[in-house]
Amino acid sequence: MPEKIQARQYMSKSLVTLRPNMDVLQAVHLLVEHKISGAPVLDDHGNIVGMLTERDCMEVVLKASYHGELGGQVEQYMSRVVRTVDVDSSLLDLAQMFVNSPYRRYPVMDGNRLVGIISRRDMLRAVQDLAHQGI
């Protein structure tokens, strides 16, 4: 049964997205305010060009400590390699991806369009639902 459950059923659809030229301190504020550990970075055409995570933001602290500079643009800190998943990816495939990678979230795509984010916590919700269904 888990192989029939898809990302679309558990992904978060309410997205916080960032822009490459956004001030990184504003991005940090959004992550904290929305209680999320990362967000996709989109260009002016809506294409994913990176991800900014809590881990990436630790570089802001290091840069401030070593160089006395606090801030900069998101594009200076974001991870440029972004692994995405298809909206029809199965729960089983997603679980395998989470087990085999350090990523805590994946952007969910429908073709070339960003439609959501699936996180480890979303996967736990799916497991909880399966347990309540007796599967």
Domain ranges of the chain: 2-132
Average pLDDT for consecutive 10-residue bins of the chain (135 residues)?
Answer: 78 95 95 94 95 92 72 93 95 93 94 94 89 76
pLDDT of residue 131: 83
pLDDT of residue 56: 94
Do the beta carbons of residue 113 and residue 46 sit within 8 Å?
yes
pLDDT of residue 2: 58
Q: Please give the single-letter amino acid code of residue 130.
A: L
pLDDT of residue 24: 94
The pTM of the full predicted model, rounded to 2 decimals, is 0.86
pLDDT of residue 5: 82
- DSSP strands (E only) in 1-135: 38-42, 48-53, 85-86, 105-110, 113-119
pLDDT of residue 67: 65
pLDDT of residue 82: 94
Q: How far apart are CA 41 and CA 43, in angstroms?
A: 7
What is the DSSP secondary structure assignment for residue 18, as one 8-state letter?
B
pLDDT of residue 94: 94
SS (H, E, C) 20-45: CCCEHHHHHHHHHHCCCCEEEEECCC
Nearest Cα neighbor of 122 from 133, 110, 111, 108 is 108
pLDDT of residue 66: 67
pLDDT of residue 60: 85
CATH superfamily of 2-132: CBS-domain (3.10.580.10)
